[in-house]
Structure 1
Amino acid sequence: MRFSCVTCAYIFPIKRCVSYKIYPKLKALDDVLGGSAAWKNVDAIDEPCPKCSHPRAYFMQVQTRSADEPMTVFYKCCSPTCGHRWKE
């Protein structure tokens, strides 16, 4: 195996294969949604929490994909002790 230049006669022999993967660090969901301040002025609906079964949850709609796709609905449990977050 070797690398060769297409414009000149340079040839570099490859002695060993070196490969590695670097995965980018993803942002936390709160940073994408606007942090904890984004949940201050949201409405609540009758949606049971899957974690604690509290009957109400705050909700927020965010366009996370292209404009022709439906909006993603994010929920946060209204119970102050739970605060579980999930999306639809």
Structure 2
Amino acid sequence: MVFTHHYCAKCASEQIRRNGHSGGRAKYQCKACGHQGYFQPASVEKARQYSQVDQLLVERNSLWSIVRTRGMVRNTIAKRVKKVLRPAPASV
């Protein structure tokens, strides 16, 4: 079984609980600060992974070495290459 840790977006506390649902999405409430909202677990983790991949691309690591070390799909990293290493538009 896979467990994910949820953290409060406002105070970064682990003391959150489910607090109903709306529109098919679960809502959460922090016991520490009372903040309520939707939990978006993947966005923070993906942003961290993408920043690491971007740094490795800037350091000129090969695509396959990044795939091996990060455990990500090659096509995902190839899309990041196009975004990160895109040449700047020429000014007129």
Q: Which has the higher helix share?
A: 2
TM-score when scaled to structure 1?
Answer: 0.34
* Structure (1 or 2) with the larger CA radius of gyration: 1
TM-score when scaled to structure 2?
Answer: 0.32
